[in-house]
């Protein structure tokens, strides 16, 4: 591990056109088969793919969302396929093929989706995964899991392991990869190390972790590097965003999203660690701070859309430059 690339604290803590629907689905599935890049999973030395979480573009339809992301320079979309998302789960068989076709026609991939899936034995959740897999989607972010107070931490994790293994096995059968995001708070995954316990004996190409450095920093302060090292082999995608601790008028503190590179996340140290740990996986950019369409709700639609493109382009450029300086791209 290179000392020069780490901050001192991090270093001291250390010891990766149109076609018929059936032909379209077949073609996309074949093209998507190599989209998950993870050393140790059978792929080597591939460039990062930059996708964008579509949550804050849900004010736009598929076509305009694709236009924003294509103009901003992204490779693909991390599409919301969950209640209130770009695709509603009850309409996944009708709307997800239409969405994927629209994004592909615009020159974008749909290698990732965000779902509320947590188990393999629910018909609605199974339908979402089968539809996504048939369309060539390679990674889906799971829904969140909760601790059972009466069972405690260890008991809750033990109870959830069979459910996770069953879901991982289902993923293996249909050819898709699950990813659980570490998210600040008191649910499963808030502390990161609990995911290491939960995912023992589960192969990351079937179900692993969407590692979110913003949430890891909010929960782990300067010790995030230890959690990253612990779960590195389970990581199959990365979520990038930034934040600052800010206090509201009532004196309450919150981890408030801010533009990429303007917050508290130590990205030079993080990207150095990603390089040293050889975590070459798809990236999803999360722009969750106040967007132009929210800041200027009365502006003309075209004006809001143009401003949105500028914001999405800026965050991507900042991320790329920081990764370039770290020798990742």
pLDDT of 25? 47
Task: Return the higher-pLDDT residue of 43 and 23.
Answer: 23
Residue ranges of domains in the chain: 3-16+20-325
H or E element at residue 209? strand 207-212
Q: Percentage of the chain with pLDDT > 70?
A: 86
Quick one: how far is CA 233 from the chain centroid? Answer: 16
**Tens of pLDDT, residues 153-165:** 999 999 999 999 9
Q: Measured between alpha carbons, how far is 85 from 297 in angstroms, rounded to an integer?
A: 20
User: What is the mean predicted confidence (pLDDT) over 156-175?
Assistant: 98
By 3-state DSSP, what share of the chain in percent is helix, strand and coil, each rounded to 5? 45, 15, 35
E strand or H helix that includes residue 321: helix 301-325
What's the pLDDT at 139?
A: 98
Q: What is the DSSP letter of 172?
A: H
Q: Which CATH superfamily is domain 3-16+20-325 in?
A: Divalent-metal-dependent TIM barrel enzymes (3.20.20.150)
pLDDT of residue 47: 63
Spatial distance between the Cα atoms of 254 and 262, rounded to a whole number of angstroms: 16
Confidence check: pLDDT of 81 > 70: yes
Is pLDDT larger for residue 31 or for residue 71? 71
Read off the pLDDT of each residue in 288-293 and give the average, rounded to a whole number.
Answer: 95
Residue 11 CA neighbour count, 13 Å, CB half: 9
If you average pLDDT over residues 75-85, what whole number do you get? Answer: 98
| Cα angle for residues 50, 52, 58 (degrees, 5° grid) | 165
> What integer pLDDT is reported at residue 3 of this predicted model?
36
- Is it the case that residue 27 has pLDDT exceeding 50? no
- pLDDT tens digits, residue range 113-127? 999 999 999 999 999
39-48, 122-131, 281-290: lowest mean pLDDT where? 39-48
Q: Which helix (H) or strand (E) holds 13?
A: helix 8-13
Model confidence at 34, in pLDDT bands (50, 70, 90)?
A: very low
Q: Is residue 10 very low, low, confident or very high in pLDDT (cuts 50, 70, 90)?
A: very low
13-28 average pLDDT score: 44
Mean pLDDT of the chain: 89
pLDDT tens per residue, range 62-74: 999 999 999 999 9
């Amino acid at each position: 591990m290179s000392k020069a690339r780490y901050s001192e604290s991090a270093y001291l803590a250390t010891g990766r056109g149109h076609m018929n629907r059936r032909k379209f689905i077949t073609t996309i599935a074949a093209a998507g088969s190599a989209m998950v890049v993870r050393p140790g999973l059978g792929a080597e030395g591939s460039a990062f793919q930059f996708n964008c979480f579509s949550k804050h573009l849900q004010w736009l339809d598929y076509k305009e969302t694709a236009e924003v992301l294509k103009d901003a320079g992204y490779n693909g979309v991390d599409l919301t396929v969950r209640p209130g998302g770009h695709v509603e789960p009850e309409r996944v068989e009708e709307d997800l093929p239409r969405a994927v076709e629209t994004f592909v026609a615009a020159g974008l991939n749909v290698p990732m989706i965000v779902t509320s899936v947590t188990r393999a034995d629910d018909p609605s959740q199974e339908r979402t995964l089968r539809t996504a897999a048939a369309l060539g989607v390679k990674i889906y972010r799971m829904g969140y899991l909760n601790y059972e107070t009466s069972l405690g931490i260890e008991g809750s994790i033990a109870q959830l392991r069979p459910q996770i293994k069953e879901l991982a096995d289902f993923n293996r059968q249909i050819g898709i990869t699950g990813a659980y995001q570490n998210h600040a708070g008191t649910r499963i995954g808030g502390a990161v190390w609990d995911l290491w316990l939960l995912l023992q004996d589960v192969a990351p190409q079937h179900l692993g972790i969407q590692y979110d450095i913003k949430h890891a920093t909010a929960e782990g302060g300067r010790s995030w590097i230890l959690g990253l090292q612990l779960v590195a082999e389970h990581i199959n995608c990365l979520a990038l965003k930034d934040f600052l601790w800010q206090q509201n008028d009532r004196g309450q503190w919150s981890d408030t999203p801010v533009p990429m590179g303007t917050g508290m996340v130590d990205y030079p140290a993080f990207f150095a660690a990603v390089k040293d740990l050889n975590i070459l996986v798809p990236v999803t950019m999360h722009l969750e701070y106040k967007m132009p369409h929210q800041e200027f709700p009365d502006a003309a639609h075209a004006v809001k859309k143009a401003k949105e493109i500028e914001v999405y382009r800026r965050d991507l450029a900042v991320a790329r430059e920081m990764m370039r300086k770290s020798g990742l791209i």
